[in-house]
């Protein structure tokens, strides 16, 4: 596919969900700024795969939890691309920096989660607004159950930070609607090559088995490509009337009722 005149910045796109999004957009000819923090080799691999799809891009190292690095990241995008059509806020701090139940959570851990999510999104949207023409697309990768439920106790900081991003999507959607810039959140279910990989292998296996047994009606974990497809749809011209929404992409897992045995639900 020939290169288009569309440009995207995807934070945390050296691997996992971010890479899945980058590759799907590259298939449509979008040129992608691949943001990474520490894994330069993974970022190079993502860029190589973008080029295999007949598109192109750049690599930008930046810690999105630091406002000054966000500003530098967008300055590099402006210098290299001149403008921006798509901004996807996907980067997440490592699990070990925030993973504590509410009674043990430190203020530093709370701030780390918020800085890498809600604050990073707030600043990222402000920066991207200045580079976007009318009709741009802004997306946040969130986790809707983390803000609605409370069972996964050590996820409290990240769950709170993600739901704050979803709130920001709604406010920015109203603010940017006159420019036909849409702002939406995508909430993935359990995805291969994601936070799942940072959990102990026994926990990983339990979660995968749980969903294959039917707690995800489609009988499998999601893939980064599944999320890339959803983001691609929201970035298309046909999605110009969708804004301020949180789109759940989970193979139907959120439709299941935890108070009923699977045997009853599946009939």
Residues 6+ apart with CB under 8 A from 30: 4, 6, 7, 8, 55, 85, 86, 235
**∠ at Cα 191 (257, 11), nearest 5°?**
125
pTM: 0.95
Residue 266 is predicted with a pLDDT of 83
Give me the sign of the Cα torsion angle 248, 67, 69, 29.
positive
**Residue-level pLDDT, tens digit, the chain, 267 residues:** 455 689 999 999 999 999 999 999 999 999 999 999 999 999 999 999 999 999 999 999 999 999 999 999 999 999 999 999 999 999 999 989 999 999 999 999 999 999 999 999 999 999 999 999 999 999 999 999 888 899 999 999 999 999 999 999 999 999 999 999 999 999 999 998 777 777 778 888 888 888 888 899 999 999 999 999 999 999 999 999 999 999 999 999 999 998 999 989 887
Q: CA Rg, the chain, in Å?
A: 18
Q: Which residue has the tokens 């973008």?
A: 50
Q: Strand, helix or coil at 137?
A: strand
Domains in the chain (CATH in brackets) are: 7-192+224-252 (3.40.50.720)
**∠ at Cα 159 (84, 71), nearest 5°?**
30
């Amino acid at each position: 596919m020939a290169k288009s005149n569309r440009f995207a910045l995807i934070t945390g796109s050296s691997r996992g969900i971010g890479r899945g999004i980058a590759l799907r957009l590259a298939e449509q000819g979008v040129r992608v700024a691949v943001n990474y923090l520490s894994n330069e080799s993974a970022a190079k691999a993502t860029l190589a795969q973008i080029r295999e799809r007949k598109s192109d891009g750049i690599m930008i190292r930046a810690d999105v939890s630091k406002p000054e690095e966000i500003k530098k990241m967008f300055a590099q995008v402006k210098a290299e691309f001149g403008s921006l059509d798509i901004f996807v806020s996907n980067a997440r701090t490592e699990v070990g920096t925030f993973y504590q139940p509410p009674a043990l959570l430190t203020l530093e851990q709370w701030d780390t989660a918020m800085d890498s999510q809600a604050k990073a999104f707030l600043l990222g949207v402000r920066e991207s607004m200045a580079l976007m023409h009318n009709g741009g697309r802004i997306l946040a990768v969130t986790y809707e159950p983390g803000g609605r439920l409370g069972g996964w106790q050590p996820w409290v900081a990240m769950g709170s930070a993600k739901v704050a991003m979803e709130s920001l999507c709604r406010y920015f959607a109203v603010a940017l609607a006159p420019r036909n810039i849409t702002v939406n959140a995508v909430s993935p279910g359990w995805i291969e090559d994601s936070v799942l990989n940072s959990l102990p292998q026994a926990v990983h296996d339990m979660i995968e088995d749980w969903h294959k047994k039917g707690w995800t009606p489609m009988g499998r974990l999601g893939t980064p490509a599944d999320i890339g497809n959803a983001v691609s749809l929201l970035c298309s011209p046909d999605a110009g009337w969708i804004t301020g929404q949180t789109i759940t992409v989970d193979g139907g897992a959120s439709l299941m009722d935890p108070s009923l045995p699977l045997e009853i639900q599946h009939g």
